[in-house]
Structure 1
């Protein structure tokens, strides 16, 4: 039984995790994630899959984050009807996350189509609908950690705690090989959590693999190890400074795990009197549902099992409806507002940024990784002006960042995790920016792995397993890429065009009088005519 694998996402970039594996008798996926980042990369969410969805036999799902799961309803829409195997925690989270993602798809498509109608442009369809998401959920088949499950003849798997979010797993896979009594052994890391993470035990898995496909999000970046008390003190310092500035504190936060961790720490800080009892608005219907799932799984989570009241705080106010969300705008200072998304690219945080970025007394606290091309990365990079919903906004708010809530292992923890999986025949580093993956590659080589056994696949690269070694399929036929690797990790033409429009507006505004403004406009028109 030969085995072929194609990297359909999260190769040369951090999002869109999806690995397509084929044997003579089976075709299946590890994850089916949504692309995030610049618009060129996001456009892949609306293009056809590089495989026939109706011929996929099953999906093995590492965890619930949308960049790993967000295209499952599209897979269903295009004909997939096989089982989706995941832990119960992942299945429970996705019972809310996938319908929420579909709602966003429909809402954003509706807004775009209204603009297209006014501009005479054609109408577009969402990647999938709420109905697709609801029917997709019927395909989930929960499995337990560390229990072997036969997925198809000659193929079995088991899941290991990855320590990343509720239900997250690394997936150990064995595929029978023709003419051999020894199967091909693979391990897909999924997203690996850091050591000593709130709620979760340290990540674990077996060892002695032919092939390990490992994430590299924080390759080359190390964090100072912090105790729970040190982490809370860092957060307390930011909260105190933000509220003393007189405005509100906005925290763009991923609805799952990051939000619940922040709520737990904010509750402890308020209960102990370290910070004032300010109102905490959880402005995300999805985060509210996810918090309920965490309460249901409290017995599985280390801190919640001991102190289930950690996210039961009278100062926390759930805002579910749009009207409730808009009402927060009447509060000009003294409030903490948590809203999705964590990279500021969708959801209600955009609405709050529109209201607060221009205020010098407001604070935006970034608490997670910001992918290239996202609004969060622009704020992190110190952009003086951004565009939100077509509105140019001058950034006057205080932009702050802390990196003590990351759900990902840092460089040293990744190296250690890989070392514990040895012996490894071939290591493939994915789910990272090129610089991060290369930094991790060099570190692993320095630890003794042969350089030609540590690979950095690019999007749509395809490999064949032959006689115990991995061979790029490009040796047989050229790779057809949906997007070139250098495009997906840098600001694309959409980002450049938005910045150009801001620069033009600023140049005109800066002109001394009406005559000078007209001179600027004439020069711009001349440049366009000569282009």
Structure 2
């Protein structure tokens, strides 16, 4: 008997993680995540599921990040009522992560429907609601690390510490005489709160993430990382500006708070107003407090209650932050695609004295990536915004292993007798990691799967592809036409202004209109 795996997401992209494992007619999902990034990538969330929810026996969830769990409400809304197995910490975090995702879906649908440029269009429907999210959360079932359990007949599974975020796990699966390991997201060395990633060895096949497969970070200790943060705080506040940090509500925010509280207590930074402007981050911090005795680097103390840290709750208080200078503002979302960070960017991007500090991965096509790559102007919620603020990055806060750490993790899981699959990585990152893994002879075959591909897995032999992927998705995995449109729209007035003759400007506008009309009238 063989095992098959199908890639429904996070193949040649970094979001939408979802693997389907089938053994003897029994099917389980490993993760069920939301696609995030450009409008074209987000549109994948609204496509029909690639499988019938009624045929899925169980879901095994690696962790509570939305790109791994954010389609569970859609799954539940379409009739799935089976268990969602995960660690106890993930169960607790999932309640808040999914509820927030549901509210965002409802809010974004309402916001888009109010936009003047959508007047007359069909109403935009939310992907799912907060009620759907809570239906999904009630299906969550806790299971401890290193504990074997059977999510379906003929399949057994256990979870290993992934060292990524609180509760995160890699997933080992046995069935049909085949043994595989799904890394999910692997944490780096010197990660706050958590021990090093763990796992077994001697697998037939491994599915490993490749988020940072094409880059190596400078090795820094936690103390060195704090020195980098001190420099950004001192420089920005010395200019009288705000330090605005787009941060994922889960784990990244708590790591920043740990460092800020430590630096403040050691009087290595002056008295600063620190605002955590994310209700979700505030709730997630409450879960960290619940498990604080088991976290590294806290000595069992509640570092999140430091007097310099203020937790913002309601929207009116959030808006009042716009009048501040000399503050540290931590807000979600981490890639600037939604949430309160957007109005802080609206008010701080044009300010030369402010700094936008990125501390996490920015997916291709996301607003965060566009700003990080040096855009001079961006569009936020339909508004044209000049980028005058300092744009900085500290990549040592990343919760993902870099290239060498991924190679070490794969080597520790060896020998691999069949195939090594590299997913959850943009194409260039996965290809580069694949070249290195091949040179290191980590597996008899190295595969960079595409969304839609299905493989037959047997013990001790390379995987066999039995269904092809979707080549139509290749062109939307990074930038799409809406990124190009935003670039054009944000710079159009300025570029027209460089044409000195007003009549020539009108001619240029008329020429652009003719070009657009010619494409609209052209046959497909």
The 5 Å alignment of 1:349-428 reads 349-425=341-417, 426-428=419-421
Deviation at 1:488, TM superposition (A): 3.3
Q: How far apart, CA to CA, are the structure 1 residues paired with 2:413 and 2:442? A: 12
Q: How far apart, CA to CA, are the structure 1 residues paired with 2:290 and 2:391? A: 35
Deviation at 1:24, TM superposition (A): 2.7
Q: 2:20 is paired with a residue of what secondary structure?
A: strand
Q: How far apart, CA to CA, are the structure 1 residues paired with 2:302 and 2:133? A: 32
Report the more deviating stretch, 246-255 or 452-461: 452-461
1:309 equivalent among 299, 302, 305: 302
Contact 2:57 2:151 in 1 (8 A): no
Q: How far apart, CA to CA, are the structure 2 residues paired with 1:480 and 1:125? A: 28
Deviation at 1:237, TM superposition (A): 0.4
Aligned to 1:294: 288
Q: 2:435 is paired with a residue of what secondary structure?
A: helix
Going from structure 1 to structure 2, the CA distance change for 1:222 and 1:274 (only over 3 Å counts) comes to: same
Aligned to 2:187: 193
Alignment partner of 1:55 is 2:43 = no
Contact 2:28 2:151 in 1 (8 A): no
Deviation at 1:517, TM superposition (A): 3.0
Q: How far apart, CA to CA, are the structure 1 residues paired with 2:93 and 2:167? A: 9
Aligned to 1:83: 83
Deviations 1:282-335 (CA, angstroms, capped at 9, x unpaired): 00000000000000011221123x14232221111111111010011121x110
Deviation at 1:153, TM superposition (A): 1.8
Q: 1:226 is paired with a residue of what secondary structure?
A: coil
Q: How far apart, CA to CA, are the structure 1 residues paired with 2:188 and 2:97? A: 23
Q: How far apart, CA to CA, are the structure 1 residues paired with 2:282 and 2:153? A: 41
The 5 Å alignment of 1:97-496 reads 97-115=97-115, 119-175=119-175, 177=176, 183-304=177-298, 306-331=299-324, 333-425=325-417, 426-449=419-442, 453-466=445-458, 469=461, 470-474=463-467, 479=468, 481=470, 484-496=472-484
Q: How far apart, CA to CA, are the structure 2 residues paired with 1:158 and 1:527? A: 58
Q: How far apart, CA to CA, are the structure 1 residues paired with 2:518 and 2:167? A: 57
Q: How far apart, CA to CA, are the structure 2 residues paired with 1:429 and 1:292? A: 34
Contact 1:116 1:122 in 2 (8 A): no
Contact 1:250 1:363 in 2 (8 A): yes
Deviation at 1:225, TM superposition (A): 1.6
Going from structure 1 to structure 2, the CA distance change for 1:529 and 1:151 (only over 3 Å counts) comes to: closer
Aligned to 1:524: 512
Deviation at 1:116, TM superposition (A): 7.1
Contact 1:12 1:485 in 2 (8 A): no
Report the more deviating stretch, 507-516 or 255-264: 507-516
Aligned to 2:522: none
Deviation at 1:25, TM superposition (A): 3.0
Contact 2:179 2:459 in 1 (8 A): no
Deviations 1:155-205 (CA, angstroms, capped at 9, x unpaired): 111100000000000111110x2xxxxx21010001000112110000000
Structure 1 runs (4+) greater than 4 angstroms displaced: none
State the TM-score, normalized to the length of structure 1: 0.94
Q: How far apart, CA to CA, are the structure 2 residues paired with 1:521 and 1:299? A: 64
Deviation at 1:272, TM superposition (A): 1.2
Deviations 1:53-109 (CA, angstroms, capped at 9, x unpaired): 122110000011100001101100011100000001111111100000000000000
Contact 2:194 2:295 in 1 (8 A): yes
Deviation at 1:21, TM superposition (A): 1.5
Deviations 1:366-417 (CA, angstroms, capped at 9, x unpaired): 1111100001101111000100011111111110111110101111111111
Contact 1:209 1:421 in 2 (8 A): yes
Deviation at 1:480, TM superposition (A): 5.8
Contact 2:375 2:387 in 1 (8 A): yes
State the TM-score, normalized to the length of structure 2: 0.96
Q: How far apart, CA to CA, are the structure 1 residues paired with 2:118 and 2:382? A: 15
